[in-house]
C-alpha cells in the first residue's frame, strides 16, 4: 500500500478552492489552504475548531486534508455552485444547517477546549451525535448532521486520486479534476 506523505498530498489532492493570497485569487487544495492557515470566508474560529475536532474523530486525517477550508469555501459560494453533498438532501441555503449543528456540537464540550478531550471522550461524543443521544441538540437531527458531515470528511480524505491510492485502488480518471473552479 502506498504511504501518502504530506508533501505528496499537497501536490495531488484533487479538490481545490479559490483563496485570496497576497491580493491574488489562487486555486489551492483544502490541505494547502489549511497548511497556509488562510482566513475563512464564512465560518468563525469556534466553528472551525468544532469542525476539525469532530472530523478528526470521525475520519482521521480530515483536518490535515483541509476539511474546514473545504466546508468554508463551499458555504461561501451560491448554493447552486456548492459541491457539498448536503445539496442532495437539504433545501438551500446550507449555512444554517452547518451553523446550527456545529453550535450544538460545540456545546457538548462544556468548559473544556477541544484539545483537552481525549480520544475516548471524543469517540463517546461522536457516538452520541451519530445515534441522536444528545440532549438539547438544536438544529437538524444530530444523526442526520453526522451522516452529512462524515461524508464531507470522507470526500476530502478518500474522494480524490490520493484517497484512492491510500485505499490501494486505482483512480482511473477519464478527466482529472480541474484546478480552476
Partner 1 sequence: MDRIKQEKYDLVIVGSGASGSIVAAKAAAAGKKVLILEAGPKRGLDDLTSSQIWARRQKWNGAPVEEAGSLQIAHAFNAGYGTGGSAIHHYAVWPRLHENDFNVKSTYGKSLDWPIEYKDLQPFYDQVQSEVGISGDAKAEKWRPAGADYPMPPMPIFTQGNIIAKGFEKMGMSTSPIPLAINSQPYNDRQSCLYDGWCDAGCPIGALANPLVTYLPKAFSDGAEIRNHATVSRVLEDSGKRKVSGVEYYDAEGIAHTVLAEQVVLAAFVVQNARILLNSISARHANGLANNNDMVGRYLTTHPSNYVFALFEEETQPFIGATGGQIMCQDGYADKRAIKEAFGSYQWLAGLAVKPNDLLGFANTRPDIFGDALAPFLKRAAKHFGSMVCVGEDISDPENRITLSDSKDKFGVPIAKAVHNLSAESKAMLENAVEEGKAVLTAAGATETWSAAPFGMHHVGGTVMGTKAENSVTDGFGRCHELDNLYVVGPGVFPTTGAVNPTFTIHALALRTVEEMLKAAA
- Does 172 contact partner 1 by CB under 8 A? yes
- Cell output for 121: 471522550
Binding to partner 1 (CB under 8 A) within 54-83 occurs at 57-60, 79-83
- Cell output for 163: 484517497
- Does 169 contact partner 1 by CB under 8 A? yes
The correct pick among 5, 23, 25, 88 for binding partner 1 (CB under 8 A) is: 88
- Does 174 contact partner 1 by CB under 8 A? yes
- Does 96 contact partner 1 by CB under 8 A? no
Cα four-point dihedral sign 99, 154, 61, 127: positive
Min separation Cβ 167 and partner 1, Å: 4
Helix (H) or strand (E) holding 20: strand 17-21
The correct pick among 2, 123, 138, 179 for binding partner 1 (CB under 8 A) is: 123
The nearer residue to partner 1, 135 or 178, going by C-beta atoms, is 178
Measured distance between the N- and C-terminal CA atoms of the chain, rounded to whole angstroms? 31
- Does 133 contact partner 1 by CB under 8 A? no
- Does 154 contact partner 1 by CB under 8 A? yes
- 165: buried, middle or exposed (CB in 10 Å: 19+, 13-18, 0-12)? middle
The CB-side HSE value for 105 (13 A sphere, CA atoms) comes to 34
Cis peptide before 93 (omega within 30 of 0): yes
Choices 4-12, 41-49, 100-108, 173-181; region in contact with partner 1 by CB under 8 A: 173-181
The CB-side HSE value for 83 (13 A sphere, CA atoms) comes to 14
Write the binding mask 16 to 55 for partner 1: x where contact by CB under 8 A, - elsewhere: ----------------------------------------
Dist CA 38 CA 61 (whole Å): 19
Kindly list the residues in this chain that would bind partner 1 in the complex (CB under 8 A): 1, 14-15, 57-60, 79-85, 87-89, 91-92, 119, 123, 126, 130, 146-147, 150-151, 154-155, 158-160, 163-164, 167-178, 181
Amino acid at each position: 500500500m502506498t504511504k501518502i506523505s504530506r508533501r505528496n498530498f499537497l501536490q495531488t489532492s484533487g479538490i481545490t478552492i479559490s483563496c485570496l493570497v497576497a491580493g491574488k485569487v489562487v486555486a489551492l487544495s483544502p490541505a494547502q489552504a489549511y497548511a497556509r492557515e488562510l482566513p475563512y470566508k464564512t465560518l468563525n474560529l469556534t466553528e472551525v475548531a468544532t469542525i476539525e475536532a469532530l472530523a478528526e474523530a470521525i475520519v482521521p486525517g480530515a483536518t490535515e486534508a483541509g476539511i474546514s477550508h473545504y466546508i468554508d469555501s463551499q458555504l461561501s459560494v451560491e448554493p447552486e455552485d456548492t459541491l457539498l453533498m448536503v445539496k442532495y438532501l437539504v433545501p438551500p441555503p446550507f449555512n444554517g444547517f452547518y451553523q446550527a449543528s456545529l453550535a450544538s456540537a460545540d456545546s457538548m464540550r462544556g468548559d473544556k477546549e477541544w484539545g483537552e478531550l481525549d480520544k475516548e471522550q471524543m469517540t463517546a461524543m461522536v457516538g452520541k451525535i451519530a445515534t441522536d443521544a444528545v440532549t438539547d441538540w438544536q438544529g437538524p437531527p444530530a444523526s442526520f448532521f453526522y451522516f452529512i458531515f462524515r461524508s464531507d470528511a470522507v470526500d476530502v480524505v478518500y474522494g480524490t486520486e490520493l484517497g484512492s491510492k491510500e485505499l490501494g485502488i486505482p483512480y482511473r480518471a477519464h478527466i482529472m479534476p480541474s484546478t480552476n473552479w
